[in-house]
Amino acid sequence: MNKIAEAKSPTIAEQLKRLPHRPGVYIYRDAAKKVIYVGKAKDLHNRVRSYFQSPAKLTPKTQSLVEHIDNIDFFIANSEQEALIMELNFIKQYRPHYNIMLKDDKSFPYLKIDLNEKWPRVYVTRRFEQDGGRYFGPFSNGGSVKQTLRIVKRLFPLRFCSRDLNKPSRPCLEYHLGHCLAPCTSEVKPDDYAQVIKEVTLFLEGKRDNVIKELHEKMNRASDAMDYEGAARIRDQIQSMHQVIEGERIAAVIRGDEDVIAFVEEGDRAYVQVFFVRENKLTGREGFLMQGARQEEPSKIMTGFIQQYYSSSPQIPPLLLLQYPVEDKEVLREWLKGKRGGAVNIEVPRKGVKKQLIDTATENARLGLEQIKIKEITSGKSVDDALTELETVLKLPGPPERMEAYDISNIQGTSAVGSMVVFEKGRPKTAHYRRFRIKTVEGANDYAMLQEVLRRRFKHGDNAGDTWSIKPDLVLIDGGKGQLNAAREVFEELNVTVPLASLAKENEEIFVPKRPKPIILSRSSAGLQLLQQLRDEAHRFAISYFSSLHRKKSFASVMDGIPGIGPRRKSALLRQFGSVQRIREATVDELVAAAGVSSAQAKKIKEYL
């Protein structure tokens, strides 16, 4: 280990020797003195030295991190919990490139009730302070918090204006519509207004049944006092609240309050879905993006989210249901206990109702990430920014309004296929997508396969008279320097002058011809994100074609041995059932009805399979 550190830098080797056997936080900086990673450790000496072991034992992401370390700094702590808090503060301060981080966590919105005001309002804020106010959130975006605020406005007669209430004035239209008690008139009693604030607080905490119970009691008191108009207003309020709650009930019977957390990963991002379950009802959900998730263990992603989300959350339930286990579970539990003021259990359910909740949250996370990708692709401003950035960093003659990306998919050379996808002005041009079945390459030679695809695409001249003649502004290859050089050879052979680049998955490095070092863009770069979308779409398109061919080939090879079943029957069975497994599970009658085979043939198929 020391030899590896010494080979990198005598200074680092000496720093490793002097690390104490104490809990604390370690900070890695690059040659420009920029913080690139922050971590916590139970034993600083052992944890930091573990990075400088044989590179073969490290993930590609960690290898890249170690290559960029130029200096090691550390802070000792009195306990692991103190180290955890220090780590969170440093991550928020420096936002290091190699850490997993909540995207834009500094600006998450909250709903706030300022209890220092005589007539408190409910309003949106992006600052969470220990000022005696009640905060609810954080919400994932402004649209989400505004939707909740609209519901509160509809259900509770609070003031939402910013009038100076020290001077009595005439009530506005909101009062006449029954939407505000109008403290501006000095006619409402502070105790009555405080009761509404209490109801709003219970509602935002998810204790909706408690609110309805109190409203029923208030309605009965108004009725007993013969205030029938007031009782009718409360009745309408109860009905509106029932409509809101109706959509929140879940089939599962869950006891107590809990947050359900699951995520999906794609590339460098993880999309986390949090379900808020309060009093047997799903009272809300929020989705959050995390950056830096590539090649990280699920437990590390989950741990990073728990730390960063609950460090700024004013509400922590007594139970967290998680899709994956967390690192340093007991340290996290003690930290959460200190923030909540009570015990917090952490569970990873494997079966039953709780597992169903996790599965539902996971599916919602998957759909949420799809929606984000759609918005990114169709966002005009972000696309313009991305194209302008790519023009600059890749030194292109103009914005790459038409881009083509290529990928190869195969298993050890079998059923090998290539894909070509097209983005125009940042959006998929699916009508111009093309698939290539590899014809001339034997065995697993991705470089040769890529060259075959490019030759077949660019052998068409500018006068081909169809979509082949449209010249792209940029060609992107899925891969690193090797794939780029293979593509460059074809371009030189065919005298193609289109700008060329490749994007390597490991560290999202961009390679271009005649440039020895890769281009590394920030994770938040609009240009990088557009290239990632283009590359991932080429990969998806290649995989879908490969899977289709591989499935047909597997199907054909299994079905070939069935006596009396020819190519036509095999094709009919494939169209009807889609897979051998479904044919195997079908009854004889279902085979006869669906594929038109005789009863005797259906029995032979069943016996054979």
510-522 pLDDT, tens digit per residue, is 999 988 889 988 8
Would the pTM of this model clear 0.85, i.e. be above it? no
Give pLDDT, residue 547: 53
Give pLDDT, residue 253: 47
- Report the 10 Å Cβ neighbour count for 555: 19
Secondary structure of residue 264 in the 3-state scheme:
strand
Task: Please tell me which residue, 372 or 339, carries the higher pLDDT value.
Answer: 339
Rounded Cα gap, residues 263 and 277, in angstroms: 17
Question: Beta strand pairing status for 134-136 and 24-29?
Answer: unpaired
Q: Please give the structure tokens belonging to residue 598.
A: 């005789």
Secondary structure of residue 471 in the 3-state scheme:
coil
Per the structure, how many domains does the chain have?
4
Query: pLDDT averaged over the chain?
Result: 80
Distances (CA, A) of 460 to 466, 478, 495: 10, 22, 12
pLDDT classification of 250: cutoffs 50, 70, 90: very low
Contacts of 143 (CB under 8 A, 6+ apart): none
Q: Nearest CA to 491 among 451, 442, 447?
A: 451
pLDDT classification of 560: cutoffs 50, 70, 90: low
Is the pLDDT confidence value at 559 over 80?
Answer: no
Give pLDDT, residue 343: 92
Whether 350 and 429 map to the same domain: the answer is: no
Judged by phi (left if over 0) then psi (alpha if -120 to 50, else beta), residue 425 lies in: left
Whether 417 and 532 map to the same domain: the answer is: yes
What is the tens place of the pLDDT at every residue in 58-117?
888 888 888 888 888 888 888 888 888 888 888 888 888 888 887 655 556 778 888 888
Contact 29, 74 (CB under 8 A): no
Task: Please tell me which residue, 56 or 511, carries the higher pLDDT value.
Answer: 511
Task: Please tell me which residue, 312 or 418, carries the higher pLDDT value.
Answer: 418
CATH code, domain with 454: 3.30.420.340
**What burial class does residue 361 get, using C-beta atoms within 10 Å of its C-beta: 0-12 exposed, 13-18 middle, 19+ buried?**
buried
Whether 392 and 316 map to the same domain: the answer is: no
Determine the Cα angle at 581 with ends 579 and 587, to 5°: 105
Residue 105 belongs to some domain of the structure? no
Give pLDDT, residue 369: 83
Is the pLDDT confidence value at 136 over 70?
Answer: yes
Whether 391 and 535 map to the same domain: the answer is: yes
Whether 432 and 313 map to the same domain: the answer is: no
The whole domain housing 39 covers 2-99
Give pLDDT, residue 145: 74
Task: Please tell me which residue, 225 or 21, carries the higher pLDDT value.
Answer: 21
Strand order in the sheet with 281-291: 101-102, 281-291, 269-278, 258-266, 319-322, 345-347
Is the pLDDT confidence value at 320 over 90?
Answer: yes
Task: Please tell me which residue, 215 or 606, carries the higher pLDDT value.
Answer: 215
- Of 65, 99, 133, the last residue of a domain is 99
Q: Nearest CA to 215 among 194, 189, 241?
A: 241
**Range 531-537 average pLDDT:** 88
β-strand partners of 41: 24
Q: Please give the structure tokens belonging to residue 5.
A: 């550190």
Give pLDDT, residue 245: 53
**What burial class does residue 106 get, using C-beta atoms within 10 Å of its C-beta: 0-12 exposed, 13-18 middle, 19+ buried?**
exposed
- Of 62, 80, 99, the last residue of a domain is 99
Residue 116 belongs to some domain of the structure? no
Residue 485 belongs to some domain of the structure? yes
Whether 326 and 422 map to the same domain: the answer is: no
Contact 365, 262 (CB under 8 A): yes
Strand order in the sheet with 134-136: 122-125, 110-113, 134-136
pLDDT classification of 251: cutoffs 50, 70, 90: very low
First to last CA, the chain: 55
Query: Residue 559: enclosing H or E segment and its boundaries?
Result: helix 526-559
Residue 222 belongs to some domain of the structure? no
- Of 525, 548, 571, the last residue of a domain is 548
Residue 312 belongs to some domain of the structure? yes
Whether 418 and 544 map to the same domain: the answer is: yes
**Range 406-435 average pLDDT:** 82
Task: Please tell me which residue, 140 or 130, carries the higher pLDDT value.
Answer: 130
Task: Please tell me which residue, 205 or 502, carries the higher pLDDT value.
Answer: 502
Is the pLDDT confidence value at 275 over 70?
Answer: yes
Rounded Cα gap, residues 86 and 331, in angstroms: 14
Q: For every residue of 145-195, which 3-state class applies, written as one string?
A: HHHHHHHHHHHCCCCCCCCCCCCCCCCCHHHHCCCCCCHHHCCCCHHHHHH
Evaluate the CA torsion angle 333, 336, 342, 347 in order and state its sign: negative
**What burial class does residue 136 get, using C-beta atoms within 10 Å of its C-beta: 0-12 exposed, 13-18 middle, 19+ buried?**
buried
Is the pLDDT confidence value at 144 over 90?
Answer: no
**Range 273-298 average pLDDT:** 81
Contacts of 566 (CB under 8 A, 6+ apart): none
Whether 52 and 76 map to the same domain: the answer is: yes
Residue 36 belongs to some domain of the structure? yes
Residue 115 has what DSSP assignment? T
Residue 291 has what DSSP assignment? E
Residue 90 has what DSSP assignment? H
CATH code, domain with 590: 1.10.150.20
Whether 312 and 445 map to the same domain: the answer is: no
Rounded Cα gap, residues 550 and 546, in angstroms: 6
Task: Please tell me which residue, 97 or 571, carries the higher pLDDT value.
Answer: 97
What is the tens place of the pLDDT at every residue in 356-391?
888 888 888 887 787 777 666 555 557 888 899 999
Secondary structure of residue 415 in the 3-state scheme:
strand
CATH code, domain with 89: 3.40.1440.10
Residue 543 belongs to some domain of the structure? yes
CATH code, domain with 270: 3.30.420
Rounded Cα gap, residues 478 and 430, in angstroms: 18
Whether 432 and 465 map to the same domain: the answer is: yes
Q: 110-124, 395-409, 522-536, 566-580 — which one is most confidently predicted on average?
A: 395-409
**Is the peptide bond preceding residue 171 cis, with omega within 30 degrees of 0?**
no
Residue 349 belongs to some domain of the structure? yes
Whether 285 and 403 map to the same domain: the answer is: no
Whether 416 and 532 map to the same domain: the answer is: yes
Give pLDDT, residue 261: 94
**Range 251-259 average pLDDT:** 65
Give pLDDT, residue 38: 92
Long-range pairs for 213-217: beta carbons < 8 A, 24 or more residues apart:
215/241
Q: Nearest CA to 568 among 549, 608, 596?
A: 596
Contact 421, 404 (CB under 8 A): yes
